[in-house]
Amino acid sequence: MGMAKIHLITGGQRSGKSAYAEKLALAANEHPVYLATSKVWDEEYQKRIERHQDNRSAAWINVEEPLEVDKLDFPSKVVLLDCITLWLTNVFDRCAYDAVQAQKMALNKLDQLFEKDIDLFMVSAEIGMGVIPMEASTRRFVDVHGEVNQYIAQRANKVSFMVSGLPLVVK
Instruction: Determine the pLDDT at residue 2.
Output: 57
Residues tagged active-site: 52
What's the pTM value of the predicted model, to 2 decimals?
Answer: 0.93
**Which range of residues forms the domain containing residue 32?**
5-169
Q: Do residues 36 and 46 make contact, with C-beta atoms less than 8 angstroms apart?
A: no
Higher pLDDT, 42 or 168: 168
Q: Read off the CATH number of the domain in which 113 is found.
A: 3.40.50.300
Mark 39-66 as b/e (b = at least 16 C-beta within 10 Å): eeeeeeeeeeeeeeeeeeeeebbebeeb
pLDDT at 149 over 90: yes
Number of domains observed in the structure of the chain: 1
